[in-house]
Amino acid sequence: MNGGERGPAAPRVAWYGDDFTGATDTLAEVSRAGLRSLLFLGVPTAEQLRRAGPLDAIGIAGAARAMAPSEMQTELGGVGRFLAGAGIRVLHYKCCSTFDSAPHVGSIGAAVRELRRHMPNPLVPIVGGQPSIGRYCSFAQLFARAGSAPDIHRIDRHPVMSAHPVTPMHEADLRLHLAAQGLPAIRSVPHTAYPRLRQASDAPAVEDWIDRTIESADGPLLLDLVDDEQLAVIGRLIWRAASRLPVLAVGPSSVQQALARALPDAPASAAPAPLPAARGPVLVVAGSLSPVTARQIAACRHYTRQPLRVERLLADAAYAAEQARQAAATLAQGRNVLVHTDRPAQAPSAEHTAATARATARLAAAIVQGSAQAGTRLGRVGIAGGDTSSQATLALGLWGLAFRCVLAPGVAVSIARSDDPLTDGLELMLKGGQMGGDLLFDDLALGMG
């Protein structure tokens, strides 16, 4: 039975993405598992749910990663009430695969404290690592690759995340990192303790191990992940817990990968068609200061680059309007445009970073509008930078995203849902600063077919 033939059913799985780029990566994993899903850009209205049609999984994209704990409580309280009322069995709080967060901003501890009020299961599985994008958790220690380079770094020695401008990672032990955010007494399950699940005869021992683990755990349970083979065991554990009481699970998109490996009555899934070359000009707006994004900007060969002076963008409305007009004029000539912020001499403050994201997102929306007014309706847009992506989807007036395809590990292309015909159906790539290879922007324009 294919996805289009399945009848209506209450969704069993939901996820809240603490930023928009990560939420779209999770959308990709859920969709590739064969689940009918849509990522809403906020708690959906009844009309939006009606327009979405039958769903097996519901996603909500948020911006909790950039919020103070009090803001998170307000945001996640509404999310938790809605999803509990929808009968969700597994609520996945999707955090960044590098777990970058702090007690004062994007606190994973604050998220758990609020959301577990709505998911009554005392067990809170925390999945560390996502091998598919070079993230590993071994004996509670987090390791990560930087961009597409092969080297793996302990997170507190990572060349980018250890020096993140807002939430630098100075502690590799996730138990200690999360304890500082109000999650003490986290029990750790090392990967060496997992039973093997390679053939049918292994299943009884796995089920017995899962039962014993659940019965002996009460509270946060950190699960190592160093190899894709372990996903099926982790997924079975989460499903078993959810069969008893609705459960809150925490981690990157590997949570959904695990659930898919152990999904009861898994539907058939079809591989999406690869992304073809764009039929018209492509706009990319890069507000990320990541070295990975900087390499992507330097490597692309199929765009007209348009650098932005951030301080003028923030202070001078006329400058912003002129930049939007210039980009729209270039796009009207049929040329791809890459608009990117300059790099400051010193690390910006959190307030400056947030203001830059908002201004860059408004500029992206202005370019889309200006291009349409000049006779060019854009069909494909890319946004680089987690905060910029979150703000851009709001500035564009979207209310949902459907999965289109994966452009690179951790980078999805989505189909925009909007009440505005100008942006409804737009192919939209949202990417975090660390994601993608050097030629990602060219791949967005040229396609992968």
Q: Does residue 52 have a pLDDT over 50?
A: yes
pLDDT at 1: 31
pLDDT of 376 higher than 60: yes
pLDDT digits (tens, 9 = 90+) for 284-298: 999 877 888 899 999
Residue 163 is predicted with a pLDDT of: 87
Helix ranges restricted to H, 202-265: 203-216, 231-244, 254-261
pLDDT at 267 over 70: no
CA dihedral of 20, 293, 251, 408, whole degrees rounded to 10: 90
Structure tokens at 441: 């922007």
Tell me the mean pLDDT in the region 81-96.
96
Q: Are 236 and 206 in contact (CB under 8 A)?
A: yes
Q: Which amino acid is at 408?
A: A
pLDDT at 122: 95
How far apart, in whole angstroms, are the C-alpha atoms of residue 233 and residue 241? Answer: 12
For 230-260, write each residue's pLDDT tens digit: 999 999 999 999 999 999 999 999 999 999 9
- Domains defined for the chain, CATH in brackets: 3-261 (3.40.50.10840), 283-446 (3.40.980.20)
Q: What is the pLDDT of residues 314-347, one digit of tens each?
A: 899 999 999 999 999 999 999 999 999 887 656 6
CA distance 32 to 110: 30
Q: What pLDDT is stored for residue 448 in this prediction?
A: 84
Q: Is the pLDDT of residue 262 over 80?
A: yes
Long-range contacts formed by 347-353: CB under 8 A, 24+ apart: 347/163, 347/165, 348/165, 348/289, 349/165, 350/105, 350/165, 350/166, 353/165, 353/166, 353/387
Of 145, 169, 131, 119, nearest in space to 15 by CA: 119
Other Cβ atoms within 10 Å of 200 Cβ, number: 7
Give exposure, 286-307, as e/b (b: 16+ Cβ within 10 Å): bbbbbebbebbbeebebbeebe
Q: Residue 164's pLDDT is what?
A: 84
pLDDT tens, position by position, 143-190: 999 877 889 999 999 998 998 878 899 999 999 999 999 999 999 999
pLDDT tens-digit readout, 228-237: 999 999 999 9
- SS3 for 323? helix
Which residue in the block uniquely carries the two structure tokens 């292309």? 413
Q: What is the pLDDT of residue 199?
A: 84
Spatial separation of the C-alpha atoms in residues 22 and 13, rounded to whole Å:
17
Rounded to the nearest integer, the mean pLDDT of the chain is: 91
Q: What is the pLDDT of residues 387-419, one digit of tens each?
A: 888 888 889 999 999 999 999 988 889 999 999
Which is nearest to 186 in space by CA: 126, 238, 240, 144? Answer: 126
Q: What is the pLDDT of residues 4-30, one digit of tens each?
A: 444 446 789 999 999 888 888 899 999
